[in-house]
Amino acid sequence: VDLARLAGLTPAGVICEIMSDDGTMSRVPELMDFAKRFDMKIVTVKDLIHYRMQRESMVRSIAETALPLRFGEFRALVYENEITRDQHLALVKGEIDGEPPPLVRIHSSCLTGDVFGSFRCDCGEQLRMALQQIAEEGNGVLLYLNQEGRGIGLANKIRAYALQDAGRDTVQANEELGFKPDLRDYGIGAQILAHLGIKRMRLMTNNPRKIVGLEGYGLKVVDRVAVQVRPGKHNAHYLRTKHEKLGHFFDMDDLEAPKKQEWW
C-alpha cells in the first residue's frame, strides 16, 4: 500500500506469497536470487522504512516536563514512533540551537547496565558520563532510545549473556541467536534530533556506525567526542570484541589494564 501511495496511485494492492521448493515461505536471500534470475525489481520493508524516514516525519512529541537530575535541570520530552508505537526519551539541557553545535549522545536502553549497574557492559557508566559532560557544557541532548540489547530485546540479551558465559563473545552470541551483531537503526533518533532543531552536532560516541547512520539522514557530525570508560574484569573482553569486530574506538592501553569495577 505504501508503494502505491508513494507512486501517487490508489493506496491498494494485491499480495502474492513466493514459496520455496520445500513449501515454506521464501526469505529475503531467496527472493533476491529469484529477482535476479527473472530480472525483477525488489524492495524490502526495511528499504521502504528507510526511504520514508528520509522524507517523512514518523515521530511526534507526546509529553514534556522539567526533570531535575543529579546532574542538573533537564527538559524531558517523550517521542512516539507513529508506526511501531515505541516511545523514546530526549533529555535536553539549555539552549541547543547556537554555536558551537551542541553535544549529543544517542544512548540505547540497557536495563541491566543503566538501572541495575551490571558489570557486563559499559552502558551505565557511559550514560552517567554523557549526562555529566552535557551538564558541565551547559547545553546538549541525550536521546534514550528504546533499543534494548543493541536492538534484540531484553530476553534475547539475557540469552546472549548465557551464551557468553559458555564461551562466545558478544558478536558470536548474537549470531548464534539468529541476529546480526547490531540491529539498531538511528533513523528515529535522527528524526527526533531534527524535530528538536538540531542539524549539526558534536556526537558523543565510540561507534563509527552512529556517525554514518546519522549523516545518512542528512545531519552533520562536526566532531566526535569519546565516551570511553575504563574496562573492568567483567567487561574487558566485551569491550575488546566491540573494538576488534565492530570497529568501536577504544584506547587499547585501557583495555590492557582493566580497573576494579565498583557500584556507583
Task: Flag whether 154 is in a domain.
Answer: no
Task: Flag whether 261 is in a domain.
Answer: no
CA distance 52 to 136: 37
Q: What is the CATH number of the domain that holds 247?
A: 3.40.50.10990
Task: Flag whether 175 is in a domain.
Answer: no
Helix (DSSP H) and strand (DSSP E) numbers for the chain: 10, 7
Angstrom CA distances, 180 to 29, 46, 86, 150, stand at: 15, 14, 21, 10
Q: Per-residue pLDDT tens for 137-173?
A: 999 999 999 999 989 999 999 999 999 999 999 999 9
CA distance 193 to 46: 21
Task: Flag whether 21 is in a domain.
Answer: yes
How many other CB atoms are there within 10 angstroms of residue 201's CB atom?
A: 24
Q: Which residue has the higher pLDDT, 63 or 57?
A: 63
Shared domain for 67 and 30, answered yes or no, is: no
Q: Per-residue pLDDT tens for 238-256?
A: 788 888 888 888 776 666 6
Residue 53 pLDDT: 66
To the nearest whole percent, how much of the chain has pLDDT over 90? 54
Task: Flag whether 29 is in a domain.
Answer: yes
What pTM, to 2 d.p., does this model score? 0.78
- Residue 259 confidence class, pLDDT cut points 50, 70, 90: low
Task: Flag whether 123 is in a domain.
Answer: yes
Angstrom CA distances, 197 to 96, 97, 102, 127, stand at: 8, 7, 11, 23
- Residue 184 confidence class, pLDDT cut points 50, 70, 90: confident
pLDDT > 80? residue 109? yes
CA distance 249 to 143: 20
Range 258-262, long-range pairs (CB < 8 A, 24+ positions): 258/230, 258/231, 258/232, 258/233, 259/230, 259/231, 259/232, 260/232, 260/233, 261/119, 261/232, 261/233, 261/234, 261/235
Q: Given the residues 114, 169, 182, 240, select the one marked as catalytic.
A: 182
Residue 51 pLDDT: 77
- Residue 22 confidence class, pLDDT cut points 50, 70, 90: confident
pLDDT > 80? residue 92? yes
In whole numbers, what is the pLDDT of the chain averaged over residues? 88
Shared domain for 220 and 131, answered yes or no, is: yes
- Domains: count for the chain: 2
User: Which residue's C-alpha cell is 575504563?
Assistant: 230
Residues of the domain holding 17: 2-42
The answer to whether the CB of 138 falls within 8 A of the CB of 93 is yes
Task: Flag whether 167 is in a domain.
Answer: no
Q: Given the residues 105, 150, 184, 240, select the one marked as catalytic.
A: 184
- Residue 10 confidence class, pLDDT cut points 50, 70, 90: confident
Residue 260 pLDDT: 60
Residue 257 pLDDT: 59
Residue 17 pLDDT: 84
CA distance 213 to 233: 31
Task: Flag whether 200 is in a domain.
Answer: yes
Residue 43 pLDDT: 87
Shared domain for 123 and 75, answered yes or no, is: yes
Residue 212 pLDDT: 86
Locate 55 and state its grid cell. Answer: 522524507
pLDDT > 90? residue 28? no
CA distance 84 to 80: 8
Residue 4 pLDDT: 81
State phi, psi for 17 to the nearest 5 degrees: -85, 130
- 184 as an active site residue: the answer is yes
Residue 74 pLDDT: 98
Residue 58 pLDDT: 85
Task: Transcribe 236-248 into DSSP letters.
Answer: HHHHHHHHHHH--
Runs of H (alpha helix) within the chain = 2-6, 28-37, 45-55, 123-137, 154-165, 170-176, 187-195, 208-215, 236-246, 252-256
CA distance 166 to 174: 13
Residue 263 pLDDT: 52
